[in-house]
């Protein structure tokens, strides 16, 4: 049976960096963000459902206007929940399909890269959970440099998510990505080795 490891972290902690490192090491990674974009491509039932619930978020080219949709849902928990209720079942269905295809192909391990893994309770279905962490000041600085945000805007983005220290409670492994890239790579390589040996793969805290 294929083992499924959930990969998550806070905004600007470096989850994508860890995900790419795992890919470079030959680990199969399924990215929830990629699936989320695909399920709202033009002509999909997902886009039609989003357009019905959020009028005006589809551009003249027939594609989802992500900036407009984001402005509607980012600071409104009810609207964000409504969007998630549409997208998450579609994302999960596609994730299951891809996982089953990998299992049929003889793969023994897949990592599911999902920002909201714990918030949506998906960690309960994982064999293990890897959480990427970084000090909040590092998150703030990265957001300000990466997205051109003010300190207040960066703090608002961070505070809108579950704190990383809370996510760590559910972790089988924690990668500290507050230091150098070399340090992060060494941690990821150790975890990948443990996974290949079948070590420490157990149900995370629920």
CA-based angle 36:148:140, to the nearest 5? Answer: 80
| Structure-block tokens of residue 6 | 């959930």
What is residue 148's three-state secondary structure?
coil
Q: Are strands 128-133 and 173-176 parallel, antiparallel or unpaired?
A: parallel
What does the pLDDT read at residue 83? 96
Q: Which of 103, 89, 90 is nearest to 4 (CA)?
A: 103
Taking each helix axis as running N to C, give the angle between helix 181-196 and helix 15-24, from 0 to 180 degrees, rounded to the nearest 10. 50
* CA distance between the termini of the chain: 22
Residue 202 has pLDDT above 60, yes or no: no
Q: What is the reported pTM?
A: 0.89
Rounded Cα distance, 168 and 176, in Å: 11
Go through the domains of the chain in sequence order and give each one's CATH number: 3-196 (3.40.50.300)
The mean pLDDT value for 148-169 works out to: 91
Residues of the chain above pLDDT 70, percent: 96
- The model's confidence at residue 157, banded by pLDDT at 50, 70 and 90, is confident
- The model's confidence at residue 199, banded by pLDDT at 50, 70 and 90, is low
What does the pLDDT read at residue 138? 94
Residues of the chain above pLDDT 90, percent: 86
| Structure-block tokens of residue 145 | 């440099």
Which residues touch 181 (CB under 8 Å, ≥6 apart)?
A: 17
């Amino acid at each position: 049976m294929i083992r499924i490891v959930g990969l998550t972290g806070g905004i600007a902690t470096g989850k994508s960096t860890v995900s790419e490192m795992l890919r470079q090491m030959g680990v199969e990674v399924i990215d929830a963000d990629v699936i989320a974009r695909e399920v709202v491509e033009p002509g999909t039932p997902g886009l039609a459902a989003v357009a019905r619930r959020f009028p005006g978020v589809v551009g003249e080219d027939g594609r989802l206007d992500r900036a407009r949709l984001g402005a509607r849902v980012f600071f409104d928990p009810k609207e964000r929940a409504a969007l998630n209720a549409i997208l998450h079942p579609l994302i999960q269905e596609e994730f299951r399909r891809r996982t089953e295809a990998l299992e049929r192909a003889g793969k023994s391990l897949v990592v599911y890269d999902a920002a909201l893994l714990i918030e949506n309770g998906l960690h309960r279905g994982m064999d293990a959970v890897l959480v990427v962490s970084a000090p909040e000041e590092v998150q703030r600085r990265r957001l300000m440099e990466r997205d051109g945000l003010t300190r207040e805007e960066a703090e608002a983005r961070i505070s809108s998510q579950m704190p990383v220290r809370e996510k760590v409670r559910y972790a089988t492994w924690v990668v500290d990505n507050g230091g150098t890239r070399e340090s992060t790579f060494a941690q990821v390589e150790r975890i990948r080795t443990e996974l290949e040996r079948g070590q420490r793969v157990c149900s995370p805290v629920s």
